[in-house]
Structure 1
Amino acid sequence: MMSNRQFNVPLKRLPQTAGVVAFIVAASVLPACTTEGTEPITEEPVSTETVEAENAQVGEITDALERYEGTLVTVREEISDVVGEYAFLLDEDDFFGGEELLVINASGTPIEIPADPGVAVQVTGVVRELMIADINEEFDVDLDPDLFVDYEQQPVIVAESAALSPDPAEAASDPEQYYGQRLAIVGDIETTLSSNSFLLDEDAFFGGEDLLVISPDGTVSTNADDEVAITGVLRPYIAADFEQEYELGWDLDFQEQIEAEYNQEPVFVADSIYPADDE
């Protein structure tokens, strides 16, 4: 079992978002129209706008800050290094070397970074031009100017959500380092087992272990070979615990089949499933 490093992230100014969608609420407070001005202030109904994050690549952001500045983006890439207590670098997956992008984790949730290099992370946040003084003031932190001097005025993602994003085979073959953590996993649906369970595989030349996915909250409206992105928590399958915690609607034969094949094996309990955009 590999040891993990806890990535301490006390930045908490931005609200934490679930998955890859951020919700922006604009409230307008207007006084009532009266001639004497003595009526109490009334509030207009709160309007809610859903803003979907734009999928982007590291190189696209580093090459075009003007295009992405102020944009909510989602990036999935490998971690190349940790910078201080609050930040890490994403390295563009490129055999000939690639760009690096700084991410400041403002989700308020620590990330357990495995000692094994090359594990991917999925982050969603707003692209900014890094101004150390502005970040320190806005989030009431103390980024070391000497440590971040090379990133000043460079693109940075201020992450509202961040989760490790191993391949399905990585989560299935070495689950201990991921148990209990919130993950974001991308893969292809190999086989649909029931209305709320399926096997997830990675699109790889050399194959790998399939990962059992269970979606307790609803029917899985996907087909075999669909590429999907899933957020949830990895845990070992213990039949008694799952029967007590979830209403899965499985018949006895299927329950016994799953218990026989997956007892104490890793299972990814999904809370959201959505199509993965082609890169």
Structure 2
Amino acid sequence: MPNQVYSFLYENKRTGAYLGAIALGLSTLLLPSCTNLTRNEEIQQEKTNVTANEVSQLSGDAANSLGKMVTVRSTVTKAVGKSGFVMTPPDGKPILVINASGATFTLPGANVPVQATGQVEQLRVADIDKKYNLGLEPNLYVDYENQPAIVAQSLALAPTPENLYKAPAGYFNKEIAIKGKVRKLPNTTNGFAVFEDGWVDDIGIMVVGVDRNLQGGPIQEGEYVVVTGVARQPDAQVLQTANLGWDANKTKEFLARYTNRPVIVADRVYPSAVETK
């Protein structure tokens, strides 16, 4: 039936198995308004070689994570020069993040979370500046010198599914990283919905452009994942390009019902390093 996919978005959530390791490779981004993403090829190669099992949530004393790949999702407390800003991970202390992604990142408003993924290093401004050619202002980093810092290979806005639904306008055509619980859609290939625990309305956000035969096994019902990609206005062209296996009638019915919500065209899907509560 044409409305089968849409109505499935409202069914009660189920539990699912854990997704195996798949390539992380978060996309770099140019914000706030450009849709053409610029990539530094060397950095991109480094990111592609990082698997989800090698990335962990940063918490507690960052000194214990020196040399490790970590992911932090939180709001930004302050900017430091053109390439740095401070985040506070859950159960942790504020930590400096250096944007070494190879792309400009415009900091969002105070209430919009950011996801940063990179290696924890003991900050030596001269060494990092030389390696990544960032043009860092040494005088601004005096208080952070020789302290743990995240040298970020990937940065993205990180709204919750609920916030993305309530205020989609601020995210359209931007690279985002959204975490949630998977709900598979019947008779649909290369797509699923993500939800957030505690979301009263329980209305999902649709994710398209997903290869279901990802390394490590197919995406499972009920597992927690992070999706990185671009939030788009849903239209027939986006859905047809995603190869969902829908005919024209099903696409038309879906668009008539799925209003005021974005569709995420995915770059990557990987297990949530930060478990959703």
Q: Please give the range of the TM-score, normalised by the shorter of the 2 chains.
A: 0.7 to 0.9
1:47 corresponds to which residue? none
Separation of aligned partners in 1, 2:101 and 2:229: 16
1:107 corresponds to which residue? 101
Query: Which structure is higher in RCO with an 8 Å CA cutoff and minimum separation 6?
Result: 2
1:87 corresponds to which residue? 84
- The 5-angstrom pairing of residues 133-172 of structure 1 reads 133-172=126-165
- The 5-angstrom pairing of residues 174-185 of structure 1 reads 174-185=167-178
Give structure 2 stretches of 5+ with no counterpart: 1-30, 34-38
Change in CA separation of 1:216 and 1:276 when aligned onto 2, cut-off 3 Å? closer
Alpha-carbon displacement from aligned partner over 1:70-110 (angstroms, at most 9, x marks no partner): 2222232322222111011111346xxx5111110111122
2:54 is the alignment partner of 1:53? yes
Offset of 1:219 from its aligned partner?
Answer: 6.2
TM-score, length of structure 2 as denominator length: 0.72
Separation of aligned partners in 1, 2:133 and 2:271: 37
Separation of aligned partners in 2, 1:151 and 1:6: 27
2:267 is the alignment partner of 1:266? no
Tell me if the contact between 2:86 and 2:94 (Cα under 8 Å) persists in the aligned partners.
yes
2:225 is the alignment partner of 1:228? yes
2:207 is the alignment partner of 1:213? yes
Tell me if the contact between 2:118 and 2:151 (Cα under 8 Å) persists in the aligned partners.
yes
Change in CA separation of 1:225 and 1:156 when aligned onto 2, cut-off 3 Å? same
Tell me if the contact between 1:127 and 1:155 (Cα under 8 Å) persists in the aligned partners.
yes
Q: Which has the higher strand share?
A: 1
Give structure 1 stretches of 5+ with no counterpart: 25-49
Change in CA separation of 1:273 and 1:136 when aligned onto 2, cut-off 3 Å? closer
Aligned residues: 236
Alpha-carbon displacement from aligned partner over 1:33-66 (angstroms, at most 9, x marks no partner): xxxxxxxxxxxxxxxxx695321224342xxx2x
Change in CA separation of 1:136 and 1:113 when aligned onto 2, cut-off 3 Å? closer
Tell me if the contact between 1:79 and 1:88 (Cα under 8 Å) persists in the aligned partners.
yes
Separation of aligned partners in 2, 1:111 and 1:176: 18
Separation of aligned partners in 2, 1:14 and 1:92: 29
What SS does structure 2 have at the residue aligned with 1:176?
Answer: helix
Offset of 1:241 from its aligned partner?
Answer: 4.6
Offset of 1:234 from its aligned partner?
Answer: 0.5
1:16 corresponds to which residue? 43
What SS does structure 1 have at the residue aligned with 2:77?
Answer: strand
Tell me if the contact between 1:128 and 1:155 (Cα under 8 Å) persists in the aligned partners.
yes
Separation of aligned partners in 2, 1:136 and 1:190: 43
Offset of 1:179 from its aligned partner?
Answer: 1.5
Change in CA separation of 1:263 and 1:57 when aligned onto 2, cut-off 3 Å? same
- Higher-Rg structure is 1
Alpha-carbon displacement from aligned partner over 1:211-255 (angstroms, at most 9, x marks no partner): 122235446933443211111110001114532x34332134422
Separation of aligned partners in 2, 1:54 and 1:144: 29
Alpha-carbon displacement from aligned partner over 1:114-159 (angstroms, at most 9, x marks no partner): 32x1322222212111112222333334422332111111101111
Separation of aligned partners in 1, 2:40 and 2:249: 50
Separation of aligned partners in 1, 2:238 and 2:222: 30
Separation of aligned partners in 2, 1:83 and 1:231: 26
| Range with greater deviation from structure 2 (100-109 or 265-274) | 265-274
